[in-house]
């Protein structure tokens, strides 16, 4: 079968001689139609971050990324019921494999879910990132009138904004922060009230100009009750990590910071605002099973536009160009379009 093969940072290729998987008990084989390049895939592409959990090895030693994809079931393993060959599904794998003709997926509600009619394969391949956003919104529990700031508006952060708008949340300001204008423009298009480029001067001052300044014995902050950090820590980016800025910005009372973005390395940050302001810092890893279904329902109902977030599409044969493009400022979401097939895996 055809598959991607991640070699080293900055090096990825397509192979056409990989062994196709066969379903183990409790698994199905999905013939992949579309697979997205995730932010974590991009971290790995830059510097090998989390490679051990982002690729699936073939018997030939090829390492296949891709954990968010959609396609058709092409084979069913022992003990699996309720599915048929040809069913249209979203798959999520814990260790890559989706950037290939075929991938094995465990049959459980966290990793395999049916696609509703009217949702395209490209849209459906963005289900997992939207489900991540739905969980972050739930964890943050923003109250009516509260101001929310989203750090990093790639596909995940944009999904957070879409989730808030689809839920009809009566927020105050919903502020998007990024360093790429293309993503900030998209954030405004999907519902952010303000877009701030962190390269345009003092970020704390820019946010305070929007929300006002809080200044008391606990320190100086913006009137931001919720910060959702989808950026994490990118080693080559100048300035303090977003978590440090979040601690500076978050309100002096009842502040919440949700951390989702990956950390490429250890980092040094000033933690004193954590002591003075006593915000709650919580991690968010993935989603609840029902978030996958909810995400697909939002797409089916037209409550969110996921196709509009796909900035580029490449065939599997151009996997190297796809990853290089995802690393550019112009890219929002890059999709690998493979194909849909309902035949059984071939060798």
- DSSP conformation letters of 222-269: ESBSEEEE-S-B-TTS-SS-HHHHHHHHB-SSS-EEEE-S-BSS----
Taking the C-alpha atoms of residue 18 and residue 4, their distance in angstroms, rounded to an integer, is 9
147: alpha, beta or left? (left if phi > 0; alpha if psi -120 to 50): beta
Q: Give yes or no for residue 93 having a pLDDT over 70.
A: yes
Q: List pLDDT tens digits, range 277-328.
A: 999 999 999 999 999 999 999 999 999 999 999 999 999 999 999 999 999 9
CB atoms within 10 A of CB 205: 10
User: Residues 117, 118, 122, 123: is their CA dihedral positive or negative?
Assistant: negative
Q: Give yes or no for residue 342 having a pLDDT over 60.
A: no
Count how many Cα atoms sit within 13 Å of the Cα of residue 35 in the half-sphere of its side chain. 30
Q: Give yes or no for residue 344 having a pLDDT over 60.
A: no
- DSSP letter at 13 equals E
Work out the average pLDDT over 133-137: 98
Predicted confidence band of residue 17 (pLDDT cuts 50, 70, 90): very high
Q: pTM of the prediction?
A: 0.92
Q: Note whether 220 and 252 are within 8 A (CB).
A: no
60: its two tokens: 């030939």
Domains annotated for the chain, with CATH where assigned, are: 3-126+306-337 (3.90.180.10), 129-283 (3.40.50.720)
């Amino acid at each position: 079968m055809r598959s991607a093969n991640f070699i080293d940072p900055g090096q990825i290729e397509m192979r056409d001689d990989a062994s196709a998987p066969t379903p183990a008990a409790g698994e199905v084989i999905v013939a992949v139609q579309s697979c997205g390049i995730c932010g974590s895939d991009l971290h790995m592409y830059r510097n090998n971050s989390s490679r051990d959990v982002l690729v699936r090895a073939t018997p030939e030693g090829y390492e296949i990324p891709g954990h968010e994809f959609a396609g058709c079931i092409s084979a069913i393993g022992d003990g699996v019921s309720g599915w048929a060959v040809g069913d249209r599904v979203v798959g999520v794998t814990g260790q890559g494999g989706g950037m290939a003709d075929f991938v094995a997926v465990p049959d459980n509600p966290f990793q395999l879910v049916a696609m509703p009619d009217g949702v395209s394969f490209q849209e459906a391949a963005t289900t997992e990132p939207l489900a991540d956003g739905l969980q972050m919104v739930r964890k943050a529990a923003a109250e009516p009138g509260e101001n929310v700031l989203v750090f990093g508006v790639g596909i995940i952060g944009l999904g957070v904004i879409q989730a808030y708008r689809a839920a009809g949340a009566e927020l105050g300001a919903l502020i998007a922060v990024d360093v790429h204008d293309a993503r900030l423009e998209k954030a405004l298009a999907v519902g952010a009230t303000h877009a701030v480029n962190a390269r345009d001067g003092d970020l704390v001052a820019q946010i305070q100009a929007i929300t006002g300044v809080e200044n008391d014995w606990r320190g100086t902050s913006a009137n931001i009750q919720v910060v959702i950090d989808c950026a994490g820590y990118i080693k080559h980016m100048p300035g303090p990590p977003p978590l440090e800025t979040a601690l500076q910005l978050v309100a002096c009372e009842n502040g919440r910071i949700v951390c989702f973005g990956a950390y490429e390395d250890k980092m040094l940050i000033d933690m004193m605002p954590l002591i003075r302001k006593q915000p709650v810092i919580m991690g968010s890893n993935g989603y609840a099973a029902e978030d996958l279904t909810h995400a697909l329902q939002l797409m089916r109902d037209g409550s969110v536009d996921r196709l509009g977030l796909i900035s580029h599409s490449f065939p599997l044969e151009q996997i190297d160009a796809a990853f290089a493009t995802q690393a550019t400022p112009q890219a929002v979401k890059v999709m690998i379009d493979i194909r849909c097939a309902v035949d059984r895996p071939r060798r």
